[in-house]
Chain A
Amino acid sequence: MAPSELTPSAAPPVARLIEAFHRLPGIGPKSAQRLTYHLIRMPQEEAEELASAILSVKERVVLCDTCANLAESAECTICGDLQRDQTQICIVEEPLDVVAIERARVYSGLYHVLHGVISPVNGIGPNDLKLRELLERLRDGTVKEVIVATNPNLEGEATAMYIQQLISPLGVAITRLARGLPSGSDIEYADDSTLAHALESRTEIAGRQDAGTE
């Protein structure tokens, strides 16, 4: 049901805003109405600030020429930071994955954002991803390690396999994020792939190593 059908008595500008919200991902007609009526009650300056933030995102945000992350200019802040390790590239599916990995504060290399993942049933193939740009970056030999950090689901794994086949002739080390049981989860509920990966990637715990069991 279209929001305007839900609000036949709403003034045209109100109905227009409800429809605009409804087009956003994850926003249903009811949420669109709630957001609209919240905005109507909002102070003028707050509404203007929101409108200006939306406009500036559209006007000023571009893709970084190097890593395809979101940036304010042709070079993003991460690619422009010479303190970062220039020999490592972490490949992620979406810009939000860069934010998540940066939040962990353990990685200091560079990124490459694919803007998607190979999804045959949705008609998304390798040509729809930023893979040509990745090959260009690897050509000069500066990068020594590529960390494939696509999501640990089937399409993410397929994309990782494709990347591995594509860049292995370049002689760059290719690594994959470890997969296994997440912190706070129950083994009882783990699926077979997760358990298999967790068992395959098991590590010797420090206590036994110290005891000289090798």
Chain B
Amino acid sequence: MVSKRRPVTYTTDAVVVRTSNLGEADRIITLVTPIHGLIRGVAKAARKPSSKLGGHLDLLKYVSVSVRETRTLHGLSQASTIDGFRGLRDDLERFSRAAYISEMAERFSVENGANQPLFRLLIDVLGALEKTDNPEMVIHFFEMRLLQLNGFAPELSRCVETGVELEPADHLYSADRGGLVSNETRPVGEVALLPASLNTIKLLRFLARTDSANADRMKAGEDENRQLSRILRAQIHHVLDRGLRSEAFMDEVRTRPSHAQASSSPESSSASSPGE
């Protein structure tokens, strides 16, 4: 005999990482939660101006929401905002970086996969990004901590090819091998190697053991920032087996002047991704 399971309803904290329209006035909301992992649910009539849900279940809002589980899309109700991260909403550059962070959090989350450390990290970094004057380093901190939390911490003290402890010098980084390669070693086979100066290596080690507040205070030069960005992104691409959609917009906003020239077109202001 097939027993009818009663629908489970619970209230959870969540961050809205994706929204899309459904039907006449509904909205599909994707949430990252601490206990239930990634949740996709329907907010009924959320697009109507009089909706009690729409304002709370907007992108990048930290909310408390009631979830009624169903076999497919869950039902969402009784949402209330815990933190709207207003600083991320009034600034295009901060928004572009927050979108990158939320996309990463979504990609590293799975349905029914509890991940409290990832959730806390997401809240912590969105809060830091709201106020920081050093967003590059906050992003690098998030990238590094995300890799660590998911079991992909880069090897930063020994050569991943030979296992020999690295001398304090410039070396190389291999995303395929997951760590630093001594400058005296040539890996077997075709392996993409990225430059990692001594300062960049120090910063990677610092990021591996610090918190968001200390990362926020650490300044890096342009070259080091570029190398950090290439190394950490290459590692994330390798783990996810693909790039992130929000990278292109973040890079464009970061590299374009704050006020575009009147003669410029949207095309002319696009920038290339640092790539791998």
Contact = CB atoms under 8 A, between A and B. Distances in A.
Contacts of B71: none
A131 B270 CA distance: 13
Interface in A165-210: 165-166, 168-170, 182-186, 189-194, 196
A97 B269 CA distance: 28
B84 A120 contact: no
Interface in B1-50: 17-20, 22-24, 49-50
Interface string B244-257: 01101110100000
A155 interface: yes
A127 interface: yes
Most buried by B among A129, A153, A169: A153
A26 B24 contact: yes
Interface stretch (B51-59, B125-133, B171-179, B232-240): B51-59
B244 to A, nearest CB: 9
Q: Identify whether the interface residues of A are mostly helix, strand, loop, or mixed.
A: helix
Most buried by A among B100, B103, B245: B245
A25 B17 CA distance: 22
B104 to A, nearest CB: 10
Nearest to B249: A120
A158 B259 contact: no
Contacts of B92: 158, 161-162, 165
B137 interface: no
B260 A121 contact: no
Interface residues of A, number: 38
A184 B52 CA distance: 11
A121 B104 CA distance: 10
B95 interface: yes
B99 interface: yes
Given A121-B18, A169-B260, A127 B52 contact: no
Given A121-B18, A127-B267, A169-B259, A154 B86 contact: no
B52 A189 contact: yes
A190 B55 contact: yes
27 contacts: A120-B99, A120-B246, A120-B249, A121-B17, A121-B99, A121-B246, A123-B245, A123-B248, A132-B267, A135-B266, A153-B59, A154-B60, A154-B89, A158-B92, A158-B96, A161-B90, A161-B91, A161-B95, A166-B260, A166-B264, A169-B259, A169-B260, A185-B52, A191-B55, A191-B61, A191-B80, A191-B84
Interface of A: 25-26, 118, 120-123, 125-127, 129, 131-132, 135, 153-155, 157-158, 161-162, 165-166, 168-170, 182-186, 189-194, 196
